[in-house]
Amino acid sequence: MNMLRQTFLFLFFFSLLFTWSCSSDDPVDRPRTVTTNLMSIDLNDTRQEIVGFGGCNTVFRGAANFPNESDMQKAYGTGENELGLSMFRVSIPPVQSQWAAIAEVALYAQARGALVFASPWDAPSNMLDPDHDEKRILPSMYDAYVDHLNAFDAYMENQGVNLHAISIQNEPDIGEWTQWTAFEVADFTKNHADRIQNRVITAESFNFNRSYYTSILNDPVAVNNVDIVGGHIYGNGLGTFPLAEEKGKEIWMTEYLLNLDATSNWSNIDESRKWDETIDMLETIHEAMESNWNAYVWWYLKRYYSFIGEGLQGTQDGEILKRGYAFSHFSKYVRPGYTRVGLDIEENTGLLVTAYFGDGEVVVVIINPTGTAAASRIEVSGQQIKSAQSWTTSLTLDRLSKSVAVEDNAVFPGIPPSSVITVMLEL
């Protein structure tokens, strides 16, 4: 009986100690008695430069209103309750009467430091082949199509929007919009894209189908007519793209969404399921970064399953949503111009970790998709850590901020189960 009582008391006090050590009310993370992961960062091991993280303007007006200026401040501001996005994708409508509204919202983003780029869904109807059931541009109209893209670029410039780049086509290989075969895209890119008066993004395959890129990248003329390899990751497409890197092209993920395939009953879905899907989103960002991609852009930034609510499916118009806070672990702290750097992890227990360097700071983004809490020791090879701060988002936390103790030139952040944590180290 005494042995049973002693065992019970031991387990009771151990549970109290564990609860205290993991408490979200503790403003400072301190070293744990057991370190499960050693993370060593090497600033000399440089990978890709980061262009940014962002979202898309509303394309089909029936789905949601355009974000207003307050929404854009929350999305692109870098204040305490803002998301720090740095890229904004807009559409190129086929008719000029719709361009003014797009310029207005693009200016909101640009005024807050965002890189703005544009993608066409549909070509003007007079350029389409009447003999095709699908929307397809007549090859004889390719030069007219270039003129259309240049006209949009010039219009935006006259309105004060400095577009960074223009895509040849959104998803040429799926959808109800204008479609192109891989051969047609290669022909247009080689023989006409040199006349586009801006940086050129490749046609954006819906699943980064490499057949839409390889012939262009291997052609000595076509390869010089594109600046950015862009694509989407619906169902496939993630992974390294050595040929694009070899040709010196930036690689952008320009659209993705997850919404549990629930377009009518999102408000009735359990929040834990939504959070699990948000972890899935974060995993795709991690894989894109590990694949040396330079940018990651989500679909609508204002939508009930996205970053800012629009008043539908149980959201409040203009409220920052849980998915927005999660995304901001990359967008707010991994800034344009930062460089991903090498990271060695010993005894990894399922954590997904990337590290970045810029402005004298090291940013470490840690995704814990498991149901088990973890503790880590983070050090920067050959560098002194002056101070550290962390932010944690989980099912119950929205970017909770903590100071992280520096002990023996290392930091020891606690990592809750099913969470994302960003640690910033000042050197």
| Residues classed as catalytic | 171, 255
DSSP letter (8 states) at residue 308: B
Cα-Cα-Cα-Cα torsion 101, 106, 112, 113, nearest 10 degrees, comes to: -170
Q: Which of 169, 183, 171 is nearest to 127 (CA)?
A: 169
CB 48 within 8 A of CB 340: yes
CB 82 within 8 A of CB 76: yes
Separation between Cα atoms, residue 335 and residue 324, nearest integer Å: 16
Separation between Cα atoms, residue 408 and residue 406, nearest integer Å: 7
Phi, psi of 388, rounded to the nearest 5 degrees = -150, 150
Sign of CA dihedral 317, 253, 229, 141: negative
Q: What Cα–Cα distance (Å) separates residue 2 from each residue in 9, 147, 342?
A: 10, 88, 53
CB 53 within 8 A of CB 78: no
Computed over its alpha carbons, how large is the radius of gyration of the chain? 24
Per DSSP, the chain holds a count of helices (H) and strands (E) of 9, 20
Which two tokens mark 117? 């780029």
First to last CA, the chain: 55
Residue 198 CB: number of other CB atoms within 10 A? Answer: 20
Residue 292 CB: number of other CB atoms within 10 A? Answer: 17
Name the E strands within 176-227: 199-201
Q: Angle formed by the axes of helices 271-290 and 322-331, to 10°?
A: 20
Separation between Cα atoms, residue 391 and residue 415, nearest integer Å: 10
CB neighbour class for 80 (10 Å; exposed up to 12, middle 13-18, buried from 19)? exposed
